Amino acid sequence: MTLRCEVTDTSSNWTFLWYKAVSYRHDLPSFTYRGKYYFPGLLPDSSRGAGGSFTLSLAAPHHNGLYVCRAEGGDPAYQTQFSDVVPLWVLALSRPASLVIRPNRSQHFTHNSLSLSCEVPDNSTGWTLRWRTKRREGPACPDGWESEAGSTCSTTSPVQEDSGEYWCGSESGDSNPVNITVTSGDVILESPAHPVTEGDPLTLCCLSRNNNSTFSADFYKDGSLLQSQTTGVMTIPAVSKAHQGLYKCRHPELGESPESPVMVFNLSPPASVVIRPNRSQHFTHNSLSLSCEVPDNSTEWTLRWRTKRREGPACPDGWESEAGSTCSTTSPVQEDSGEYWCGSESGGRSNPVNITVTSGDVILESPAHPVTEGDPLTLRCLSRNNNSTFSADFYRDGSLLPSQTTGEMTIPAVSKAHQGLYKCRHPELGESPESPVMVFRSDYPASPFSVFRLVCSVPVFSLTIMLVVQCFRSNSQSKVDDEEERTYEVSEA
């Protein structure tokens, strides 16, 4: 996942800082997002010079949150305002646990019973409910809630301050999070707390506090009236990506509900990138071909790409375009390293792959796509001279793995524990670049929810976000005063 920061003023040599919203801190300035106050916590090692980018090598659910950036430059040095806020929601396809909500919806009335529990497919222990609200966070049940057997927290009287993010956590990882809203109003929207799958039906209901039943109401998406309803129920027979957005309902007398997001995912991408040779690392000046494989043989798909300094909707410069949405070259260069995917005119997008082209003498032969848990995985160290294996050491996340007598390492049955950044090294020829190995579970657990509220998620292979900052100059004292007293008004990017 790459965050990119851009400054409209190019007169200075800028360095960049990235922040993630944290709980209340009296020593930090505040910013607002959707009418609420947040505080920017500086990300570790976030100053990356003039490049304007900050990369997390393997995105995970714990990276969820609100992100902003700012730039620093000039002599004497001064800082820009914060950029607009970008919310990130990272979902894992292979989820070891899921959060079950009763009643099963994202919005709830104050003083009405609410229960949250962790469902673990393999009945493993060690999972607890974790949460983060506006001013509190904790590893167990919130204050005033009761703890029950089986990692369950319940309350008969939730309050507005219980609104926030909830997930299941253990020493081995976190589940996908859900956002819960508790309101003191008279109307709520019954909508799925988890993402829904493209093609499934989706039903939204407007509920009143008095009898918790439906009634006549209007429905809105992203602030615009979707349609007036004769009842308080709205059904979408087959949900699509176009239906994603923030929904709410409104009754002319009782008022309107809070907004809740509806997220739609497609677990079977309509196209995929095929790489020849089939690996993520490649030597400069050795043949390379990328093409789009489409199950239904549709012709609207083309290869798309984004490298450090270029991007485009067709073949990169210097590559040849062939029939069947294929791009090839006999002489790739280092600048061809980057992200590649298949895109369609209708807005479809395949899962991306990351390609590294190196001028070095050693590469790691590793899968460009994720591998399935339980399958064998073989990594090979290849040299430029003869492209064959040789004796080498292998590393994961910078740590040396057990020594190999050949330039090949095999894992008979890969698991989530094998995920990480891999590279190989020859004592004379040098080392390869690093490449990620991602592992997904084949027995993706079935959802405990009804058909229009399936628990669905997709992997995030890479994500690029542009955060734009506005610049202003001030003397040192006024800058300090601003940071102590100013509330930065921002809008959603």
Phi, psi of 161 (to 5 degrees): -70, -10
pLDDT for residue 6? 82
Report the candidate in 73, 9, 74, 16 with the shortest Cα–Cα distance to residue 45: 16
pLDDT for residue 483? 34
Q: Which domains does the chain show, CATH number per domain? A: 2-90+461-488 (no CATH), 98-265 (2.60.40.10), 282-359 (2.60.40.10), 360-442 (2.60.40.10)
Residues 6+ apart with CB under 8 A from 478: none
Report the candidate in 195, 353, 338 with the shortest Cα–Cα distance to residue 260: 195
pTM > 0.75: yes or no: no
pLDDT for residue 461? 36
pLDDT for residue 487? 31
Whether 367 contacts 377, CB under 8 Å: yes
State both tokens at 452: 């229009």
Q: Between vectors from CA 340 to CA 339 and to CA 343, what angle results, nearest 5°?
A: 130
Chain segment 282-296, per-residue pLDDT in tens: 999 999 999 988 876
Helix (H) or strand (E) segment spanning residue 482: helix 476-485
Q: Give the whole-angstrom CA distance, residue 18 versus residue 67.
A: 7
Residues 6+ apart with CB under 8 A from 318: 329, 331, 333
Which residue reads 């902003």 in tokens? 68
Taking the alpha carbons at both ends of the chain, their separation in whole angstroms is 17
SS3 letters for 347-397? CCECCCEEEEEECCCEEEECCCCCEECCCCEEEEEEECCCCCCCCCEEEEC
Q: Give the whole-angstrom CA distance, residue 80 versus residue 89.
A: 26
Low-confidence ranges of the chain (pLDDT < 70): 10, 23-26, 34-35, 45-51, 57-58, 60-61, 91-96, 121-124, 134-135, 150, 172-173, 212-214, 266, 268-269, 296-299, 309, 324, 346-347, 387-389, 404, 441-493
State both tokens at 336: 């061809």
Q: Give the whole-angstrom CA distance, residue 313 versus residue 316.
A: 9
Q: Give the whole-angstrom CA distance, residue 166 versus residue 164.
A: 7
Give the bridge partners for 166, in sequence order. Answer: 131, 178
Phi, psi of 412 (to 5 degrees): -60, -40
State both tokens at 162: 């219980």
Looking at this protein, which amino acid is placed at residue 304? R
pLDDT for residue 91? 67
Three-state SS for 61?
helix
Report the candidate in 485, 476, 487, 465 with the shortest Cα–Cα distance to residue 79: 476
